[in-house]
Amino acid sequence: MSVKITGNSLTLNDIWNIAYNFETIELDSNAKEKVIKCRNYVEKIINENRVVYGLTTGFGKFSTVRIQQDKIEELQENLIISHSTGVGQYLSVPETRAVMLLRINVLARGHSGICLSTLQTLIDMLNKKVHPCIPEKGSVGASGDLAPLSHLALVLLGKGKAEYQGKIVSGKLAMKKAGITPVKLKAKEGLALNNGTQVMTGVGALNLVRARNLVKQADIIAALSVDAILGTAAAFDPLIHKQRPHSGQIQSAENLRKLLAKSELNYSHKNCGNVQDAYSFRCTPQVNGAVRDALDYVQKIIEVEINSATDNPLIFPDEDKVISGGNFHGEPVAFAMDTLGMVISELGNIADRRVEQILNPALNRDLNPFLAPRPGLDSGFMIAQVTTAALVSENKVYSHPSSVDSIPTSANQEDHVSMGTIGAMKARTIIENVSLILGIELMIAIQALDLRHLPSSPPLEAVRKEIRRTVKTLKKDRFLADDINNMKRIIDSAIIIDIVREYIELG
């Protein structure tokens, strides 16, 4: 069943399924009526020869230049062609689909002045998997994502490049092969297509879903590491966390208690005299929980933004108004993406410290140094921790906020910008790095558990069994890069969350 597009009801789950699972969409009937009504109002303005920004004038610094009626359509096409200045790698197919979806959803709100036929063409492109090649660099986040969204619109015109059936081809050929007729833009349609925050928000929405999965897996992996070092679960007692009732902290501590509750290994040393572990174990709920709380803030911003009208000018037929404002400014999303990147970076930071605790013989005396099967002859996981350290350091650089920077553009007409798209791309890189870090911690924790003589809890043992289907116990030194990449694929799939949920409910 297709997802109904209303302009105000899109969810993160919808975005993920349409981006990754190629679910189809269709325009809601009420949305069609709003789009038609708004377009009719635009036509009325043009026929009355009124002076309205973006409809009968140039753009940005050229907003004072009046455009003749017979040049208005040329103006719209020139806007898209001239603004297609993006550089760098193309967005992934899922990211591109998320951007297309959000652009469609904005247009469906009925305040952009798009023709219904143009909007339907964009919907057909998404449903038939014609994916414009959108360079990821070139947006400063106001007036929204002008350059990348222009590359999206190019293919709508039968220009530019697109990914179709696994190949990069011309936009014209992709549209032809998909049986879609390119459009000829009319007044206001160029602005309706390239003005807004959909690139930073589309990438940001996918970042958020991945980040949510990472923080849940971080609890699971931390629990495995606690058992790996014969750590104590005392620090996860609810009595402690009720005295500092941050919701994320309470949830993370509860997850850790549930994960370790029936561990024979953990119970076996309950009275051993170890009253506390290093902070990277003992303070996991405080760190992972703070990440959860920060992601709640990010989610609030993204959920508002994906159902907002962010182009300019906005058209209000009922009020007989066309208002030039600033909803395209990406500051809310910019702050959210900087926050997301920073807090996910901390998941990797504390995970690297747990890895060090497991591998360092000065810190964990009852395991072989670096878990080397034959210490000296084998190096074990010594350099795997060097990899986590390198990734953590890189993340610290990427965690510097983009949103504190602004460079004036368009002859100082656009004199303050958000850099939100840069923030979204940086957050994505941090997520990639933390997926690797957590994968390495998971691999090392399970190697340590293989050396213990008692089992961990049923859910954690089920995770160990799943990992061992792909990455075998290290019995002598081997090429670990393949193992690390396999572990990242496991983390990205989030399969260990599903495995654990067969035994306990994770928050």
Type of residue numbered 342? M
Q: How far is CA 5 from CA 102, 190, 196, 365, in A?
A: 10, 21, 18, 59
Q: Other CB atoms closer than 10 Å to residue 255's CB: what's the count?
A: 27
- Which residues does the annotation mark as catalytic? 53
* Tokens 């009720």 found at: 242
- Are 226 and 255 spatial neighbours (Cβ–Cβ below 8 Å)? no
Q: Which of 449, 465, 475, 472 is nearest to 503 (CA)?
A: 465
SS3 315: strand
Return the structure tokens found at 487. Answer: 């572990």
Is the backbone peptide bond immediately before 117 cis, with ω within 30 degrees of 0? no
Instruction: Give, in order, the Cα–Cα distances in Å from 441 to each of 99, 253, 318, 373, 462.
Output: 33, 19, 58, 18, 17
Computed over its alpha carbons, how large is the radius of gyration of the chain? 26
Which uninterrupted H or E stretch holds 136? Answer: strand 135-137
List Cα–Cα distances, 395 to 286, 401, 436, in angstroms: 20, 12, 12
Residue 370 C-alpha from the chain's centroid = 34
